[in-house]
Structure 1
């Protein structure tokens, strides 16, 4: 099977606006957490996790999601220039995940139409179309290959990376810009509240009394190609529960299938995986099913964690953010910290949750990222550090 490598990446979230700030937060004895109280339409409140800094100017970006994309691309400019010079514009694809695009901006336009009877000047429907993000990135970098957006809720970014690797292996593209980005939207937060899925306070993945998620915003973009580098997308797999529109299959059977298939692709056994970056939303059903899955596949000794207690749930960007955090931590020789209320739910399978500040005794070579979504969508990706 053709090997696919990550030649560069950029990341932003509640943890920081770039890789350096993200590492500093991950190494902090008190990592950032969702800390902004947000009032919902029914008067109740939840915590959210916005970006901690200002975005770079991007005149061509009409939405916050696209502005975030432009900022992330700017962080990879030298590698983007190399990519275009090496492969040519027509051999560069863009496959990204999102769930919000320009929905927040469209809410303001909709209010204007309801009050004035017509759409405000400058309103364009394409701003909220799911394909807009991929098209914006393609235009920004001058890519002329295949371009599309994946929107499968919380597996979107992971599926985008798996799809990007597939385009390279099948020869459809020589390089792919992939990952995921989601910006904050009032509609999204209230929608999850309508499903009784948001926490009244700070989310607590795998914690006793956990009551839901905190919505966050963030994103991560990656450059994939066959050109060897330090990081390899060693395996990736997808599956579907066909169980329920919003609740996961409590057996975790199809989620487990995705995890095992991803490891088979990578030629990796469970005991060779240094740590597992779990989806870990902080909802009762997700954490119960996922703890059981991790216990069955990896046992009680493999470090496992959810970073959503720091970043919040970034929805369509979540899987890409996990991969970026894994790369940052593997290079630094530390485990991503599992941050929650500290009161572990003892009724869950006794997996090993990583601690804040926990360092590895040996180089971290292989990690796995798992993503699960509404509709029974599952995706898993194995990341390997080629040199350590």
Structure 2
């Protein structure tokens, strides 16, 4: 079903680039920041895009950052009765590692959302969305349904991934991490780099610049840890259909590309099939803030829209793999009305969102 009359009313972001959107865009314009080495065991280190250093425990960092990004998005921190959607892949594993020392890494699925809700003194319904890397995008789709149904005028989506050794060690064990840096669609790419991020998206029914025109979530588990070409094609077609758009109407695609040798190639070929000779400009953000897992849909959306609004453009800074037959745009498209955002995750999740710039 199409998603109409839902708008992005406010955005907030804390990531490796900065503690808010303005500082993140400024750092991006200067070429970004380097990832930091994280030790997962003795002598085993992987680069990770970490949030700027903060004092306090893991939980205190989470609470402080959640309150900050929610305030930046224009959401009050007391007495809110609307729906809150908390999206995460690793949830509270970091809390267990750093504070509880619960080596079972177990607990209730809602525990993490409870931490976020308490930080905001949230009074309304609270939902956990944990569908691996598609979590935040699926949270946005769920929030849109809530608003469209008339059950709420506004909803808040929080996408949050804070550092933990368990997740880094797991990706490393699967040989998915790069030892030196992420190069999405790049020549010689050798894996992804993980990142921390907390993002807030306030959605509402009141008209604003960015309208959520459509979206899709396609699950194909044939490749549980990778990208499936047929699912990429299906999610793009479904998102376009729900938006009432043709492939030629899309002016920019925010790609999933994280730097994996195989998955990046699969995505590139699938996009060329969907858009044929009308492939629009492509943009990638993971070389600048890392792959922020369950928060990536919200974090990358907020950063991309902030860049567009500030007339700042992310550049790759490395050579693109010529064999893919695609390119990453070095500047903002001259025409920019409809933006397609793609996210792919473990378990076969493939999600897309279409945003319309109502001022274009």
What is the TM-score normalised by the length of structure 1?
A: 0.84
Deviates more, 1:253-262 or 1:156-165: 253-262
Counterpart position of 1:31: 32
Provide the secondary structure at the position in 1 that maps to 2:59.
coil
Within 2, Cα distance between the matches of 1:387 and 1:134?
35
In the alignment, is the contact (CA less than 8 A) between 2:8 and 2:201 conserved in 1? yes
Offset, 1:20 = 0.7
Residue correspondence of structure 1 range 345-384 to structure 2 within 5 A: 345-348=321-324, 350-355=325-330, 358-362=331-335, 364-384=336-356
Offset, 1:296 = 1.8
Within 2, Cα distance between the matches of 1:42 and 1:299?
49
Provide the secondary structure at the position in 2 that maps to 1:281.
coil
In the alignment, is the contact (CA less than 8 A) between 2:251 and 2:333 conserved in 1? no
Within 2, Cα distance between the matches of 1:255 and 1:266?
17
Counterpart position of 1:43: 43
Distance 1:376 1:218, change over 3 A: same
In the alignment, is the contact (CA less than 8 A) between 2:281 and 2:328 conserved in 1? yes
Residue-by-residue CA offset, 1:171-218 (whole Å, 9 max, x unaligned): 232211014110011111001111111111111111222221111101
Number of equivalenced pairs: 357
In the alignment, is the contact (CA less than 8 A) between 1:94 and 1:137 conserved in 2? no
Counterpart position of 2:156: 177
Counterpart position of 1:328: 306
Offset, 1:75 = 2.2
Provide the secondary structure at the position in 2 that maps to 1:154.
coil
Within 1, Cα distance between the matches of 2:115 and 2:207?
28
In the alignment, is the contact (CA less than 8 A) between 1:80 and 1:141 conserved in 2? no
Counterpart position of 2:320: 344
Distance 1:157 1:335, change over 3 A: same
2:181 to 202, 207, 223: 202
Within 1, Cα distance between the matches of 2:316 and 2:193?
15
Counterpart position of 2:71: 74
In the alignment, is the contact (CA less than 8 A) between 1:66 and 1:133 conserved in 2? no
Indicate yes or no: 2:257 matched with 1:280.
yes
Residue correspondence of structure 1 range 258-337 to structure 2 within 5 A: 258-299=235-276, 301-337=279-315
Residue-by-residue CA offset, 1:65-110 (whole Å, 9 max, x unaligned): 343212212323xx324x99xxx844x1011211223312312446
Offset, 1:141 = 4.1
In the alignment, is the contact (CA less than 8 A) between 2:13 and 2:200 conserved in 1? yes
Structure 2 unpaired stretches of 5+: none
Provide the secondary structure at the position in 1 that maps to 2:225.
coil
Within 1, Cα distance between the matches of 2:71 and 2:160?
15
In our comparison, the structure showing a higher alpha carbon Rg is 1
Offset, 1:335 = 4.1
Within 1, Cα distance between the matches of 2:188 and 2:358?
40
Within 2, Cα distance between the matches of 1:239 and 1:222?
22
Offset, 1:299 = 4.5
Distance 1:32 1:271, change over 3 A: farther
In the alignment, is the contact (CA less than 8 A) between 2:190 and 2:260 conserved in 1? yes
Offset, 1:140 = 4.2
Offset, 1:313 = 0.9
Distance 1:332 1:269, change over 3 A: farther
Offset, 1:135 = 2.8
Offset, 1:53 = 4.9
Within 2, Cα distance between the matches of 1:110 and 1:4?
40
Within 2, Cα distance between the matches of 1:49 and 1:130?
26
Residue-by-residue CA offset, 1:252-286 (whole Å, 9 max, x unaligned): 11222112211222222222222111111111221
Provide the secondary structure at the position in 2 that maps to 1:100.
coil
Distance 1:67 1:286, change over 3 A: farther
Q: CA RMSD in A?
A: 2.7
